[in-house]
A and B are shown apart, each in its own frame.
Chain A
Amino acid sequence: MAMKLHEYQAKDVFADAGIPTPASALASDVDGVVAAAEEIGYPVAIKAQVQVGGRGKAGGIELVDDEDEAREAADTILGMDLKGYHVGQVLVEEAVDFTDELYVGITMDRGAGKPVAMVSTKGGVDIEEVAEEDPDAIAQEHIDPSFGMHPYQARKAVYDAGVDSAVARDVSSVLTTLYDLWTSRDGSDAEINPLMVTDDDEVIAADAVMNIDEDALFRQPELAEMEEEAASGDELEQKADEYDFDYVRLEGNTGIIGNGAGLVMTTLDLVDHYGGEPANFLDVGGGAKADRIANALDMVFSDDNVDSVVFNIFGGITRGDEVAKGINEALEQFDEIPKPVVVRLAGTNWEEGMEILNEDLVTVEQTLEDAVQRAVEYAAEVEA
């Protein structure tokens, strides 16, 4: 999927390509914020560097006029919890006087199977809301990836959106640069919202979004280095990154482990169907060996919300004997199993797996439906 750059990282990428951005500096403590603000000159914006939308509304962006205000805002924002994300860094940025706020963006239109360039004069607000309430306000131009964006397409999108002719040329130029970046950097999304228009008809990127296709990071070494820095979020989700699992933490108490995205999703849905609540999505992927299976159990056990675990494997390239070995390894280290585990094995080598599996440590069910129902019952017993 996508690796999200922080605003400051995306702005560096945009600025290097020639897109105008406000003067700014990164800071991680109050004195650093003040020093940066003095350097840039008040007023400045202090902006939390976290990967969530709606930072402004959530109190993560403050406009300040002097040192006192800067200290107060920096003290509040640094270290705050913004929609579950810890704020460790802020961008201190020149405040721009603007007359208009535009939106420009490039993304992959999966339905069309090709990139699309978008321009709107309704910048500065959530563009998904604009798309829903007033779709005509966003001009769209689909691009043939074998030719790239023709110059006329950039102009057309800008004129179709109704951008003021005084800045049309500059906005087209920003859009063209954005598309070039999107292709050369393997972007999944590249956006400027807002692209501010000043009273002397300059355009300047006041925000920057750049998401990179994770599958292409192998050929984007410079951006891959930023990944470490950009990573943040739930502790368990970070642990899943280390183990290289597809993992999503949810709110419920029935832990779920399986192989293959569609089947794991189905297992979640069945937990819900039988009256339980899924605690997570965990896909061990194809061909998992014993150690990976043990890691998966460790992951789910370390979620305090989990009261029971359903382990559902339908082997194609994953082998039942490896799965059974992994489950034994993970469970035999405990004097007492921390949470009841229900196992269902099917597909490749399931019989060999059943011979190996230590049935004193787990509950075995033959079908997916039975396994899920049993795990939901166990979870309900623990809750009661």
Chain B
Amino acid sequence: MSVLVDDETRVVVQGITGGEGKFHAEQMIEYGTNVVAGAVPGKGGQEAAGVPVYDTVDEAVEAEDADTSVIFVPPAFAGDAIFEALDTDLELAVAITEGIPTQDMARVNKRLTETDTRLIGPNCPGLITPGEAKLGILPGNIFADGNVGLVSRSGTLTYQVVDNLTNRGIGQTTAIGIGGDPIIGTDFVDALELFENDDETEAIVMCGEIGGEDEEEAAAFIDEHVDTPVAGFIAGRTAPPGKRMGHAGAIVSGSGTGTAESKISALNDAGVPVGDTPEEVADHIEEFLS
């Protein structure tokens, strides 16, 4: 078992003829992902990464029965590409693109309240169910099949923590990178709910960072609704207020909201141990599983 993606998932890659899109479509296929089509306006009838390309997502769904989209469209057009995925009623859309204008995402966010399509991202590494499928840019070789669900706002931090787990022989059910932008589709609460309802997931790692209040909301949700043990990590303890740490969302505002302390104490209050280092997170997970 796993969440959101497995070897049955039928993937259309939006932007498959671009440099990034093509490279990662090939990588996904090499990993075993069932990529069935590409969608690029004006490129219908061509082939890329060994799969047929259609002008619209709708055609890709009609012809190849795609149910999931991975979006590698440049930021200026990515908001539109997400709308296309949502309006085509796919099950899942994964937006890898970084740098989408925030106002475009506010409109997407409104649309998400009216559709059943789930969005992951944008500005995220995607997600992976080890041994079955990966959607996005994660390096497949560091993951291993197992019983830990992982959800993270940051890509490379995900890799770091996964590495710490895999090196100890602890595999993952699914790892989800939800993205570092201020407005995202699937958030911590959504991902935690998925893992809580997954029979195979026996422990959860949640990697947050400074900025916003998503981690605090997740802590409240864990307290009420999650029985699966959760270990946490929060990046940005040493970040000074008012300075953005790379991610658009990772900033402690002048009035002190979004600090690491607030997130760590909310998680601790919900019974979630928070590691000082990625190694310590792996320690907690090892303990949960023993």
Contact = CB atoms under 8 A, between A and B. Distances in A.
Contact of B137 (A265, A314, A316): A316
B44 interface: no
Contact of A215 (B75, B138, B255): B75
B244 interface: yes
A224 B26 CA distance: 36
Contact of B254 (A1, A128, A369): A128
Given A260-B154, A269-B235, A369 B246 contact: no
A268 B238 CA distance: 7
B239 A186 contact: no
A254 B180 CA distance: 26
A13 interface: no
Interface string B147-178: 00000111111111001000000000000000
Contact of B247 (A146, A262, A269, A315): A262
Contacts of B109: 113-114
B248 to A, nearest CB: 5
Interface in A347-384: 347-348, 367-369
Interface in B86-134: 99-103, 105-107, 109-111, 125
B160 A111 contact: no
A270 interface: yes
Nearest to B110: A146
A270 B101 contact: no
A346 B160 CA distance: 9
Contacts, number: 169
Contact of B139 (A114, A261, A268, A348): A348
Nearest to A372: B277
Among B209, B235, B279, residue most surrounded by chain A Cβ atoms (within 10 Å): B235
B249 A262 contact: no
Contacts of A131: 255
Contact of B245 (A146, A218, A248): A248
Among A246, A263, A283, A348, residue most surrounded by chain B Cβ atoms (within 10 Å): A263
A250 interface: yes
Contact of A144 (B105, B110, B212): B110
A283 B209 CA distance: 15
A278 B238 contact: yes
A215 B276 CA distance: 33
Contact of A145 (B100, B110, B154, B249): B110
Chain B interface size band reads 35 or more
Contact of A281 (B152, B207, B237, B245): B245
B240 interface: yes
B102 A188 contact: yes
Q: Name the prevailing secondary structure of the A interface residues.
A: mixed
A315 B254 CA distance: 33
B246 A266 contact: no
A273 B278 CA distance: 12
A368 B157 CA distance: 11
Given A114-B109, A248-B243, A264-B245, A347 B237 contact: no
Contact of B100 (A108, A115, A215, A264): A215
Contact of B106 (A114, A265, A317): A114
A185 to B, nearest CB: 10
Given A131-B255, A219-B76, A281-B245, A113 B180 contact: no
A259 B159 CA distance: 11
Interface in A232-283: 246, 248, 250, 258-266, 268-273, 278, 281, 283
A110 interface: yes
A265 B125 contact: no
Contacts of B247: 261-262
Contacts of B207: 262
A186 B101 contact: yes
Contacts of B153: 262
B139 A347 contact: yes
A67 interface: no
Contacts of B152: 262
Contacts of B154: 260-263, 265
A346 B249 contact: no
Contacts of B246: 246, 260-262, 264-265, 281, 283
Contacts of B159: 263, 314, 316, 346-347
A316 B155 contact: yes
Interface of B: 75-76, 99-103, 105-107, 109-111, 125, 137-139, 142, 152-160, 163, 180, 182-183, 207, 209-210, 212-213, 233, 235-240, 243-251, 253-255, 276-279
Given A213-B103, A317-B137, 4 more contacts: A114-B106, A145-B107, A269-B237, A369-B279
20 contacts: A110-B249, A113-B106, A113-B109, A114-B106, A213-B102, A215-B248, A246-B245, A248-B245, A262-B153, A262-B156, A264-B246, A265-B210, A266-B235, A278-B238, A281-B245, A281-B246, A314-B156, A314-B163, A315-B139, A316-B137
